[in-house]
Chain A
Amino acid sequence: MLIEDNPGDARLVQEMLEEGISQFHMVWADHLQAGLELLGSEEIDLVLLDFGLPDSQGLDGFEKIHSRKPNVPVIAITGLDDEKVSAEGIRRGLQDCLIKGKVEGILLLRTINYAIERQRLQLELERFAKELKDSEVRLRNIIEQNVDGIIIVDQNGTTRFVNNAATLLFERKSDELLGQNFGFPITVGEKTELEINRKSGEPLTAEMYVNQITWEGESAYQASLRDITEHKRLAEAKDEFISTVSHELRTPLSIIKEAISLVLDGITGEINEQQKKILVTSKKNIDRLARLINDLLDMSKIKAGRLELRKTWVDVSSTINKVVSAFESTAKEKGLELITRCSGDGIDIYVDEDKIIQLLTILIDNSIKFTSKGSIEVYGKEKDEVVEFSVTDTGIGVHKEDLPNLFDNFTQFGRVDGPGEKGTGLGLSIAKSIVEIQKGKIWVESEVGRGTKFTITLPKLDYEEILKQYLSDAIKEAEKKESFFSVIRILVLNFKAMVRESNEKAKATMKEIIELIKNSLRNSDIVVSNAVSDDVGEIFILLPETKREGAILVLGRTEEKVRQYLSDQKKLERKINFNTGVFSFPEDTREEREILSKLRDTKNG
């Protein structure tokens, strides 16, 4: 559109525009008001504006057009060579200025083309900028509205950004937090607990998780803070509740049981059959209540992840025998046969023996309960990577549809026995947890009327793992008691050669040596060795509460005994040589890793 009051000039421009292969179509307005009307009604791509109109002078006309259609490029045609006005116009968004009388066809066309293209690019740029800003706003909103407090600190620990939740957490405004030295976060990628210093002084515990990020082009840290005060309070309340249950309920219960036993045994005077019957039932139910309390305590400990394992080197076959023998009288009463079958002379595994006893007790107890005739068979076998054991009965079995729920809490099936033998329904659930906490597996096979078989596999831990476990346990224990311990290492130098000659004999000899060492130690001392399973003859002796000089004495005594034993064994073809090392905690080192590496370093033949 051309806005030009002089019809002659207008015709001139029209001719220039419509000359040749020009792609433009021009509409003409002879004063500004008419131009503004056309601007509203027509599709205008560009305005050529005369700065000397009857109803408008200079930039005033441009402003009116620009405020109505900011996206339509405007080129001014000025009568004078007024640099000042045109510069100001371009600053305000005018695309170009042409001087009246100096306009030629080609120049005009080019100017118009450039103006349109420039306007298009400008719009695109603005659109991009807006999109970018929108997406930044969106991201900020996500961070801003996050329920976790988020703080971004730079490499110096200075706060560069805080979200709303963080200000609430600290009870401080964002400008009180920004630019402050929050501190350089030590742990990245793991959770750490912080006590927040709130303005009100009210305690608040937060869990902080730090990520390394880039912030405004620099390496920075993003710390997420989650309020865990309530969570901690609840956990503490729960712990307290559990210990209350254990102490407040168990103590009176055992007193009641004791009292009933006294009456029942006739110590307080004769009782008749009727009275006896009632007391027997009472006692049975007290036992059941005690079991229920113990089961609940176990369950809550497991659920809270507080079930602590005290792992030791255990011969599972002897554990099985121990548990089975405890059930002998019960089985006999019911006329059931109890069979134990264990492969080999011993199944050594690194587990918590008490937990294994509990596990087997639950399973055997269960089997006896649900079996009225036949047998219960307990089976133990060492496999390549696991130790497998099973409890098989010839009892009533479990319905197929009930099998998947068998290990759930409080599920009981096909209860047929009297009330006195009722369990809590927690047994199998506890059994499953015990197995899983030791990284094992438990499963059940059953057929109604034929019997049930529970199978458990427990992984055999790698020797190195066990050794590390023992060491870290010993360090923890010593630190707790502010105590000390020592480690002795005995390396059989020519063990490999011994194995090559006769694997059986080498292992048997080592086993005997280990037994010998064990017998000369205190009960609390621990012997770990891989001589029975590997081709390196290494024996570790862990001596709790023993200082270096004590350990050296023990070593001297042990060495003497072993040499004595070996010289008595005429059958050995090869002379066995040892290297020994002693290390003490915390005298020599506090670091777990150092103990092992230094011990092995000392005299590694």
Chain B
Amino acid sequence: MYEIRIYISGHTLKSTRLVEDFRKLLDEELKELYSLEVIDIIENPQLAEESMILATPTVEKASPLPTRKIIGDLSDKERILFGLGIIAGKEEEK
């Protein structure tokens, strides 16, 4: 079971779309094997401070350990999954 958090700055059209797309990606890749928590760092600045979120959008895989974070545009599925440590990467080939 993957425990995933997505950090956004305010509920804007853009961030809503981003979360929706990301949820779709997780549905496809992880089926029901994940939980997604959406954290608005403007509403919850202390949560952002605790997890040391420096910018949004950031996605954090809180469990299983080790914790992994990815930052930026969530468009490249391969790199998202690699960055979160869900799949082994083909980084070296790039």
A contact set with B: CB distance below 8 Å:
155-157, 170, 172, 177, 180-188, 190, 192-197, 201, 203, 206, 208, 210, 212, 219, 590
Contacts and interface: CB of A to CB of B under 8 A. Distances in A.
Contacts of B67: 181
Given A177-B54, A194-B57, A203-B9, A182 B72 contact: no
A219 B93 CA distance: 12
27 contacts: A157-B71, A181-B67, A182-B54, A182-B71, A183-B58, A183-B69, A183-B70, A184-B68, A185-B70, A185-B83, A186-B71, A186-B73, A186-B74, A186-B79, A187-B72, A194-B72, A195-B55, A196-B54, A197-B9, A197-B41, A197-B53, A201-B45, A203-B9, A206-B55, A208-B72, A212-B94, A219-B91
A186 B9 contact: no
Nearest to A176: B52
B32 interface: no
Contacts, number: 90
Contact of B69 (A184, A188, A192, A212): A184
A210 B55 CA distance: 15
A30 to B, nearest CB: 71
Interface string B66-89: 011111111110011011100000
Contacts of A182: 54-55, 69, 71
A187 B80 CA distance: 9
Interface in B22-71: 24, 41-42, 45, 48, 52-59, 67-71
A182 B56 CA distance: 10
A197 B56 contact: yes
B56 A184 contact: no
Contacts of A185: 70-72, 83
Closest 8 CB pairs of A and B: A183-B71, A184-B83, A195-B9, A192-B73, A183-B69, A194-B55, A192-B72, A186-B72
B53 to A, nearest CB: 5
B71 A184 contact: yes
Contacts of A184: 68-71, 79, 82-84
Nearest to A181: B69
A215 to B, nearest CB: 15
A206 B91 CA distance: 26
Interface of B: 8-9, 24, 41-42, 45, 48, 52-59, 67-76, 79-80, 82-84, 91, 94
Given A157-B83, A196-B54, A210 B68 contact: no
Contacts of A212: 94
Nearest to B67: A181
Contacts of A206: 55
Nearest to A204: B55
Contacts of B55: 182-183, 194-197, 206, 208
Contacts of A201: 42, 45
Nearest to B94: A212
Nearest to B53: A197
Nearest to A203: B9
A84 B56 CA distance: 63
Contacts of B84: 184
A476 to B, nearest CB: 12
A157 B57 CA distance: 14
Contacts of B75: 186-187
Nearest to B89: A155
B74 to A, nearest CB: 6
Contacts of A590: 24
A52 to B, nearest CB: 66
Given A187-B76, A192-B73, A156 B54 contact: no
A181 B72 contact: no
Contacts of A188: 79
B56 A194 contact: yes
A156 B69 CA distance: 8
A185 B80 CA distance: 9
Given A157-B68, A194-B56, A186 B91 contact: no
B52 A181 contact: yes
A219 B70 CA distance: 17
A156 B72 contact: no
Contacts of B68: 156-157, 184
Contacts of B72: 183, 185-187, 192, 194, 208, 210
B91 A187 contact: no
Nearest to B73: A192
B76 to A, nearest CB: 5
Contacts of B76: 186-187
A196 B7 CA distance: 12
Nearest to A191: B73
A182 B73 CA distance: 14
Contacts of A156: 68
B83 to A, nearest CB: 4
Contacts of B58: 183
A172 B42 CA distance: 18
A229 to B, nearest CB: 12
A180 B84 CA distance: 16
A564 to B, nearest CB: 43
B56 A195 contact: yes
Contacts of B91: 155, 219
Contacts of B79: 184, 186-188
A219 B9 CA distance: 30
B83 A186 contact: yes
Contacts of A203: 9
Contacts of A181: 52, 67, 69
